[in-house]
Every structure is written in structure tokens, then in C-alpha cells.
Amino acid sequence: MPRLGALLELSRDHHSALVMGRDARRAAAANDSAVWLETIARVEEYWRRNMSAHFVEEERLIELAGEKLDADAVARVLSDHAELRILAAGPCSLEPRARLRRFGELLSAHVRYEERVFFPQLEPHACTASATSTDPLSPNPAYPHTIPER
């Protein structure tokens, strides 16, 4: 589904998130602790350069839409965000292999859920959610859209 405004940039970010999720799952499948540690470093860098700002922007739009969104869908998105923050930013109590596996699986499932279920809910409400005269679907200038390095 074509996206508008801020959802367009967030949707574009999802491609790199799916790639990162796939890479994390592949690294977890490897029997090489050096690969695990290298990939964890990439995940942590991805968090700092892209994912943390992405989550802030999504949560801003959720807040603007308020109670117009399905409460269960919002709860799932926010719960996923909380777990992904721990997995991506650390410190994390999981062993590296388990951390990568869980991160990769959850990130991929989260992106697919947002694209298929949550963004279609958010899109029509976000336009009217703001109490200000600004369009909440306009890209947020504070949101630094970046492409992670591989």
C-alpha cells in the first residue's frame, strides 16, 4: 500500500530493518562466535543510527492518533518496541546467539505486522490526530532518516 508523509519514510526504513533481521537470523544460525559478536555490533550501530529515531517517530504518531487506534494493536507495537530496544541497544542478558535469533525473528515479525496491520490503521487517523494546525503526517524534521551501512 502506498504511504503518505511520515509513514512513507517509516515504511522505507522497514526494508533495511528486514535486511537487518535476516542478517541477524543468519548470524545466529552460524556456528561462529566471532560472527555473532560482529553482527551484534552491527545491530547496536543500526539501533544508534536508525532504529531508535524510527521508534521515536512511530511513537509520536501513535500519541497523536490517541485513542482512535485499536488498543491491542498499539499495545503490541509498543511491547515489540520495548523488547527490540533491549535486544538492539543492550545490555541484554541473552547469550549472543540467542540474542541475535530473537532480535531477527522479532524485528521481521514486527515490521510485517506494522506494514500489514498497524500502518493501515494509523494512516487515516494520523491526519486528524494533531491538536495543532500542523499535519502530523508530514515528515518530522527531527527524524534523521538514514540508511545503515552493511
Closest CA to 150 of 12, 9, 34, 41: 41
pLDDT at residue 132, as a whole number: 41
Q: Could you read off the pLDDT of 37-73 as tens digits, one per residue? A: 999 999 999 999 999 999 999 999 999 888 889 999 9
Q: Could you read off the pLDDT of 73-114 as tens digits, one per residue? A: 999 999 999 999 999 998 899 999 999 999 999 999 999 999
pLDDT at residue 6, as a whole number: 75
- Whole-model pTM: value is 0.83
Residue 33: CB atoms within 10 Å: 11
**Pairwise CA distance, residues 34 & 14, whole Å:** 27
C-alpha cell at 21: 533481521
**Pairwise CA distance, residues 143 & 94, whole Å:** 30
